[in-house]
Chains A and B, each alone.
Chain A
Amino acid sequence: MPLIKYNNQSLSSITTLPASIPTGKLKLISSQTASNSASISFTSGLNSTYKVYKFVFSNIHSRTDAVDFTFNLSTDSGSNYNVTKTTTFFRAYQNEAGTDTALEYGTTRDLAQSTAFQIIADTMGSDSDQSGSGSLLLFNPSSTTYVKHFISTFQNYQGDNYSIQTYVAGYGNTTSAVNAVRFQMASGNFDGTIYLYAIDNS
């Protein structure tokens, strides 16, 4: 048994705390970092242990200018990413010149019973300082009774120098358990880190 080391004002090597101490319930399941990668897939950790999962996207940077960041679901542990989805998409944007603003529904960016990848950030810029960040909630993916709802928000420095905030929601129209999720650009590669959290005790 290793000794517990006292390290200034902290204790290193501690792996558990007493039950009386309130611990965080936003539990990190895994994280993956893309570095000029075609996609990131989470093929483990999505199961019946938790009822709500949260993906956090940190500085997603497209290597190709003005392409969309997308995701899809799998019911066969990642062999296929092709779950049927019906979704909504709306966005708010303004350009850096302050001459173009909108709050609008995106009729070409939603899905109606489609197995295609869903856009969650549109026309991302590839300049060295351009990136996007956001999150996606996925509710009870392991249910074999109900469809699988998701809600996403994403802020993006767009390729034509716009600030774009996108809101995407919908459901994977399947009663099979969803057990894998893939993120990729509509074309080309990307950089960035994606964290998968579980809302513990949910």
Chain B
Amino acid sequence: MPLIKLNDRSIKDVTSLPFGVGTLVHIQSQTASNSASISFTTGINSTYKEYQFYFIDIHARTNAVRFQFNFSTDSGSNYNVTKTTTLFRAVHDEADAYTEFAYSSSYDLAQQTTFAFFGDHNNSSTADKNAGGTLTLYNPASTTYVKHFLTQFNNYESGGYSVISYGAGYGNTTSAINAVQFKMASGNFDGTIAMFGVL
């Protein structure tokens, strides 16, 4: 066993601690710049029981398309995990003429392998329009249970609406999920996605 060397005010050569330091461990960030998709194909494994994705300034290059995601159980060869989901949203326009708070029956999935929506249309009609939000994925490496997830996504919708969407569901598979892909329903997008593990 190597000696631990004291190096000024740090501990050199220590590679692990018997306790967690903090709650979030940054695994990877990727930035889309007029990109078709972003895929996380490494780092999703049994190391962490919870993963958090943060979406920063997601901006569609095609107007009125929805941001979406899917899972893979074969390291990204296919993104087609069966999912059953819910999605509800609150909407308010800048003119204060319209509000909505409702379940979004056209945005949910029932045992489907298609991509799941984060919410309403993202749009490119104005340069300052974008979206931000999070996705939490629980224990993707389990080979016993289905894979639950929660999303929250606030979007500056075309026409001048603030739309907050809350989604949830499960990947209905007992295979380990080891990759996640994000993309627009059509066209390219900009933005940064950061993936963290939770200790």
Contact = CB atoms under 8 A, between A and B. Distances in A.
A113 B97 CA distance: 12
Contact of A167 (B23, B164, B192, B194): B164
Interface string A149-179: 1110000000000000001011101010000
A99 B94 CA distance: 35
Interface residues of A, number: 51
A146 B154 contact: no
A52 B132 CA distance: 9
A67 interface: no
B10 interface: yes
A112 B98 CA distance: 10
B92 A110 contact: yes
Given A20-B15, A21-B15, A4 B92 contact: no
Chain B at the A interface: SS class = strand
A24 B25 CA distance: 5
B9 A139 contact: no
A151 B152 contact: yes
Contact of A21 (B8, B14, B92): B14
Given A14-B10, A140-B56, A151 B164 contact: yes
Interface residues of B, number: 54
B41 to A, nearest CB: 19
Interface string B10-52: 1111111100111111100100000000000000000000000
Interface stretch (B64-72, B104-112, B122-130, B175-183): B122-130
B54 A169 contact: no
22 contacts: A11-B11, A14-B9, A17-B10, A18-B15, A20-B15, A21-B16, A23-B21, A23-B22, A24-B23, A52-B54, A86-B162, A112-B95, A113-B95, A139-B57, A146-B57, A149-B132, A149-B156, A151-B133, A151-B134, A167-B90, A199-B54, A199-B196
Given A18-B12, A51-B192, 15 more contacts: A4-B6, A14-B10, A24-B25, A25-B24, A25-B26, A145-B128, A146-B57, A149-B131, A149-B133, A151-B152, A151-B154, A170-B92, A171-B154, A199-B24, A201-B194
